[in-house]
């Protein structure tokens, strides 16, 4: 699945006037002002109720798992705070900008330490199979240093900055800048983030505002939208027909880059920044408006005929995504399956393989209905891979994974039973054939 940069958080801050409704940045809070941790439930960030973190808490042991005392600004309804662990994950640290309520509820999916090992060794290339180099016309980019096989994990990158998408409208821009600067500078390796800034893309934007505007992705965590910055992932350039794709795990707050096809040494590794199915015109507008560059990938610089064919393919994919569920509900399985198989061919042709996780379920169910157990198993395994193969699934994903595993076991059992029945039928047919032949021989002899 692709993620598009969300600018609501930052652009709203960039356009705010200097009129405020009591907004105030605070690092040393007055005794009568309990901002940090106000009304906060127990959170698994971990093991400590953040209600203990307040203006009177100067004992670092009370901040666990944060390595810094939360830094907050006051807003109309509740404060907005920076929660930082400078050491985890993997030493570069993470800062989360949100309200105490969201920190203690929506983000309670983090039920294990940041440094928990969550990928099987065979899924990851170690050391990294690429290097960061200067790419003409693109700045920095990532080039493969060895052959990378399709389906292998190229990079697992934990978020450095996570920020809630909704942001209060009653704070001054200077306060927003203060939160952002605190979130970055408290990281264990702030220079990894600061090096990403291209400086001056937006007039009046600070360096930190600029780097977040041009390097952030939208991620979903328990049904809420957040913007997230991944320092290493940000080095991967966009391509409208990429050779890799990204997958976000809300359980670990990590983004993984997977090879969608074999990648040769010296080849640039690319991902897509735009949503699936957009036309070339829509992609160009999105990339220029949100990311600040004009795409010069091989597809966008192709002939008008090639671009039109690609646009037609993507339009057809969008049409299939609407028609296949409808045909399935009407019981028109043969037509629906024909469309599904063609859609997946177009998806491969357009290098949008990572966009089809939900669509695999339809052919899996329909093939089962018409008795093609092998194809039903093939697509059910694809559904499972989409849930489990690209990282640690969240709570909903884990529940769905258990359901898929049960379906897979049932299908495998039914396939074995089907083969046994077929073998038994062949044996019976063979015996009947021998019996019939023997009868004919007896008749011939008697005559």
pLDDT digits (tens, 9 = 90+) for 341-370: 999 999 888 888 666 767 899 999 999 999
Find the mean pLDDT for residues 411-417: 94
Find the mean pLDDT for residues 304-312: 95
Alpha-carbon distance values, 102 to 39, 190, 360, 384 (Å): 11, 25, 33, 30
Confidence (pLDDT) at 380: 92
**Domain residue limits at 139:** 8-276
Lowest pLDDT segment from 91-105, 219-233, 275-289, 424-438: 424-438
Confidence (pLDDT) at 56: 41
Chain segment 421-434, per-residue pLDDT in tens: 988 888 887 777 66
Q: Are 192 and 160 in contact (CB under 8 A)?
A: yes
Q: Is residue 22 part of a domain?
A: yes
Confidence (pLDDT) at 264: 97
Q: Are 377 and 405 in contact (CB under 8 A)?
A: no
Q: Is the pTM of this model over 0.75?
A: no
Domain containing 39 — which CATH number?
2.170.270.10
Per-residue confidence band for 146, with pLDDT thresholds at 50, 70 and 90: very high
Chain segment 236-288, per-residue pLDDT in tens: 999 999 999 888 887 778 888 989 899 999 999 999 988 777 889 999 898 88
Per-residue confidence band for 322, with pLDDT thresholds at 50, 70 and 90: very high
Between CA 266 and CA 272 the distance in angstroms is: 19
Q: Is residue 16 part of a domain?
A: yes
User: Above 80 in pLDDT, residue 289?
Assistant: yes
User: Above 80 in pLDDT, residue 93?
Assistant: yes
Q: Is residue 66 part of a domain?
A: yes
Q: Is residue 255 part of a domain?
A: yes
Helical axes 304-329 vs 333-349, angle rounded to 10° = 150
Q: Is residue 102 part of a domain?
A: yes
For residue 31, give both structure tokens.
């005794």
Total domains, the chain: 1
Lowest pLDDT segment from 90-99, 277-286, 432-441: 432-441
Confidence (pLDDT) at 4: 37
Q: Which stretch, 101-105, 217-221, 333-337, 439-443, has highest mean pLDDT?
A: 333-337
Sign of CA dihedral 185, 191, 196, 200: positive
Name residue, tokens 């996570």: 162
Q: Is residue 367 part of a domain?
A: no
Confidence (pLDDT) at 446: 56
Between CA 99 and CA 396 the distance in angstroms is: 24
Share of the chain above pLDDT 70, in %: 70
Confidence (pLDDT) at 431: 73
Q: Is residue 395 part of a domain?
A: no
Q: Is residue 397 part of a domain?
A: no
Per-residue confidence band for 35, with pLDDT thresholds at 50, 70 and 90: very low
Between CA 43 and CA 105 the distance in angstroms is: 7
């Amino acid at each position: 699945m692709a993620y598009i940069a969300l600018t609501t958080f930052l652009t709203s801050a960039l356009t705010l006037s200097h009129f405020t409704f009591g907004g105030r940045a605070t690092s040393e809070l007055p005794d009568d002002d309990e901002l940090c941790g106000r009304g906060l439930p127990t959170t698994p960030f971990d093991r400590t109720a953040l209600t203990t973190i307040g203006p009177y808490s100067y004992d670092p042991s009370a901040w666990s798992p944060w390595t810094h005392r939360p830094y907050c600004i006051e807003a109309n309804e509740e404060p907005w705070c920076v929660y930082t662990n400078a050491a985890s994950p993997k030493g570069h640290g993470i800062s989360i900008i949100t309200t105490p309520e969201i920190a203690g509820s929506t983000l309670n999916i983090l039920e294990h330490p940041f440094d928990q090992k969550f990928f099987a060794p065979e899924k990851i290339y170690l050391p990294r199979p690429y290097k960061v180099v200067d790419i003409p016309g693109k700045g920095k980019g990532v080039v493969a240093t060895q052959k990378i096989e399709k389906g292998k994990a190229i990079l697992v990158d934990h978020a450095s900055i996570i920020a809630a998408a909704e942001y209060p409208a009653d704070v001054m821009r200077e306060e927003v800048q203060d939160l952002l600067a605190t979130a970055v500078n408290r990281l264990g390796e702030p220079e990894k983030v600061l090096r990403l800034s291209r400086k001056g893309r937006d007039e009046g934007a600070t360096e930190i505002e600029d780097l977040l505007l041009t390097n952030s992705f939208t991620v979903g965590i328990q049904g809420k939208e957040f913007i997230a910055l991944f320092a290493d992932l940000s080095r991967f350039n966009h391509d409208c027909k990429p050779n890799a794709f990204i997958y976000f795990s809300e359980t670990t707050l990590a983004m993984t880059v997977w090879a969608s096809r074999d990648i040769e040494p010296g080849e640039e590794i690319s991902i897509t920044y735009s949503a699936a199915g957009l036309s070339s015109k829509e992609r160009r507008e999105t990339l220029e408006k949100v990311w600040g560059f004009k795409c010069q990938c091989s597809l966008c610089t192709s002939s008008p005929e090639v671009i039109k064919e690609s646009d037609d393919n993507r339009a057809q994919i969008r049409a299939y995504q609407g028609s296949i569920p409808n045909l399935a509900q009407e019981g028109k399985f043969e037509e629906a399956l024909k469309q599904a198989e063609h859609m997946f061919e177009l998806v491969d042709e357009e290098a949008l393989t990572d966009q089809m996780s939900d669509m695999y379920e339809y052919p899996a169910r329909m093939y089962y209905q018409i008795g093609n157990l092998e194809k039903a198993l093939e697509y059910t395994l694809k559904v499972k891979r989409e849930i489990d193969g690209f990282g640690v699934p969240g709570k909903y994903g884990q529940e769905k994974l258990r359901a898929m595993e049960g379906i897979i076991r049932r299908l495998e059992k039914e396939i074995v039973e089907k083969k046994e029945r077929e073998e038994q039928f062949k044996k019976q047919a063979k015996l009947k054939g021998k019996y019939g032949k023997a009868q004919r021989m007896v008749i011939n002899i008697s005559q």
